[in-house]
């Protein structure tokens, strides 16, 4: 009996983990605009220490051992025929007239993620273009004597902290709209993060909401003054990093009846798209809950399990969510890795455990099932 075919639409953080979990039982086809994993995680490390970031978060597909059995296509998704169970995409040959790709499926996993700033965009890029983009952002900030970070979420926090750690002589100002940042995290976490940022001499400015002009999405590092809709005088710096959470789901290739009012994919608690057997969505693109937490709570494992269950006519399981965001906020630092829990507690892993246990064994072997030595890309 021939094996079922699963198309994984999007090979970011969640897409790769999903494909890895499916490849032993199914014929898996992965479609991505990038030639490898280009993670949306740890923006601060990406900007401040791009070589360190690339080692762990920019990994060509051929380095993942369990993707050896996955057929990966670098192409831009253009549509889906749900009745014919076929996905359409277009390769980019540089001329704007790339070949059309047609991929039939028995099951489809939608994990195309979201666009958010210049670091998460659904554009087709070569390895050289990705490397050039990483270096350009780093050089832009390295040349600035003063930097404004706008935003109150995790991307803004990690950016302010890592920029201040790498360049302690720069003036770093963090502006956020509420009385505290990290509103989706436990309040105890913000108190701890506040103390860390203060210790790093980051200047904190609560109650500042940026006035966004002409639909600016924050997808570039700018200069010039920042104006505030909350009435404060404009603020200026040599470079302005916008981490304002203007998240846009990458769903323009999907029929509107699959989407909610914001463009995210509607799913059941089992992460299945209602009314379409064999179609699932997971990660930031899926409207699983208010925090879209299937991206961070083993949603990939649940989808892989439910696809197997659906083909075997077994009951599907529902996603269990923690109710608050959690995880690392600063990334790997010289003093180790600090992880914040949904309950507000935190624990720190010492540097030796990160280097010798967490990254090589828990991440590269445990999560990814083996990653070959990664050549320097930046």
- Residue 158: CB partners within 8 Å, gap ≥ 6? 42, 43, 44, 45, 329, 330, 331
The pTM score is: 0.92
Of the candidates 124, 89, 106, 111, the one whose C-alpha atom is nearest the C-alpha of residue 20 is: 111
CA–CA distances in Å: residue 30 to residues 68, 105, 158, 229, 252? 12, 11, 30, 43, 18
Which residues is 64 bridged to in the sheet? 371
Q: Could you tell me how many residues make up the chain?
A: 378
- Provide the H-helix boundaries in the chain: 13-22, 43-48, 50-57, 127-142, 154-166, 187-199, 299-311, 351-353
Taking the alpha carbons at both ends of the chain, their separation in whole angstroms is 45
Strand order in the sheet with 222-226: 203-205, 171-175, 146-150, 235-242, 222-226
Predicted local distance difference test score (pLDDT) of residue 172? 98
Return the number of other C-beta atoms located less than 10 Å from residue 256's C-beta: 7
Q: Which residue has the tokens 């050089």?
A: 139
Any bridge partners for residue 172, and if so which?
147
Q: CATH class for domain 5-121+247-312? A: alpha beta
**Kind and range of the H or E element at 101?**
strand 100-104
Question: Closest by alpha carbon to 266, among 252, 278, 279?
Answer: 279
Q: Give, as one character, the DSSP assignment of residue 259.
A: B
Question: Chain centroid to CA 141: how far?
Answer: 22
Q: What residues does 8 pair with on adjacent strands?
A: 30, 109
Residues of the chain with CATH 3.50.50.60: 5-121+247-312, 127-242
Per-residue pLDDT of the chain in tens (378 residues, 90 and over written 9)? 579 999 999 999 999 999 999 999 999 999 999 999 999 999 999 999 999 999 999 999 999 999 999 999 999 999 999 999 999 999 875 545 678 999 999 999 999 999 988 899 999 999 999 999 999 999 999 999 999 999 999 999 999 999 999 999 999 999 999 999 999 899 999 999 999 999 999 999 999 999 987 767 667 899 879 999 999 999 999 999 999 878 899 999 999 999 999 999 999 999 999 999 999 999 999 999 878 888 888 899 999 999 999 999 999 999 988 778 888 999 999 999 999 998 889 999 999 999 999 999 999 999 999 999 866 666
Residue with tokens 């009314």: 275
CATH class of the region 127-242: alpha beta
pLDDT of residue 64: 96
Q: Is 67 helix (H, G, I), strand (E, B) or coil?
A: helix
């Amino acid at each position: 009996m021939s094996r079922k075919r699963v198309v994984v639409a999007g090979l970011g953080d969640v897409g790769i983990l999903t494909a890895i979990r499916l490849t032993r039982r199914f014929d898996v086809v992965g479609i991505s605009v990038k030639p490898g994993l280009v993670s949306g995680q740890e923006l601060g490390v990406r900007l401040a220490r791009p070589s360190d970031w690339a080692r762990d978060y920019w990994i060509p597909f051929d380095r993942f051992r369990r993707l050896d059995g996955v057929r990966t296509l670098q192409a831009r998704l253009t549509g889906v025929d749900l009745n014919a169970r076929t996905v359409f995409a277009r390769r980019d040959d540089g001329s704007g007239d790339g070949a059309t790709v047609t991929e039939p499926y028995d099951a489809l996993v939608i994990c195309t993620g979201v666009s958010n700033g210049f670091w998460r965009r659904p554009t087709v890029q070569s390895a050289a273009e990705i490397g050039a983009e990483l270096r350009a952002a780093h050089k832009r900030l390295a040349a600035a004597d003063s930097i404004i970070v706008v935003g109150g979420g995790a991307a803004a926090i990690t950016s302010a902290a890592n920029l201040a750690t790498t360049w302690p002589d720069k003036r770093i100002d963090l502006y956020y709209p509420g009385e505290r940042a990290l509103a989706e995290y436990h309040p105890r976490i913000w108190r701890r993060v506040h103390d860390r940022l203060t210790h790093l001499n980051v200047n904190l400015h609560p109650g500042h909401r940026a006035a966004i002009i002409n639909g600016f999405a924050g997808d570039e590092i700018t200069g010039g003054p920042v104006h505030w809709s909350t009435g404060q005088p404009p603020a200026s710096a040599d470079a302005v990093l916008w981490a304002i959470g203007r998240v846009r789901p990458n769903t323009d290739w999907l029929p509107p009846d699959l989407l909610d009012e914001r463009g995210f994919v509607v799913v059941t608690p089992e992460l299945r798209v209602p009314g379409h057997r064999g179609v699932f969505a997971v990660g930031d693109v899926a409207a699983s809950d208010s925090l879209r937490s299937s991206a961070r709570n083993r949603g990939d494992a649940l989808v892989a399990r439910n696809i197997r269950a659906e083909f075997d006519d077994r009951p599907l399981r529902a996603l269990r969510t923690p109710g608050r965001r959690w995880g690392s906020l600063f990334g790997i630092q010289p003093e180790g890795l600090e992880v914040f829990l949904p309950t507000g507690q935190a624990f720190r892993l010492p540097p030796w455990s990160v280097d010798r246990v967490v990254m090589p064994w828990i991440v590269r072997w445990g999560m990814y099932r083996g990653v070959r030595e990664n050549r320097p890309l930046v």
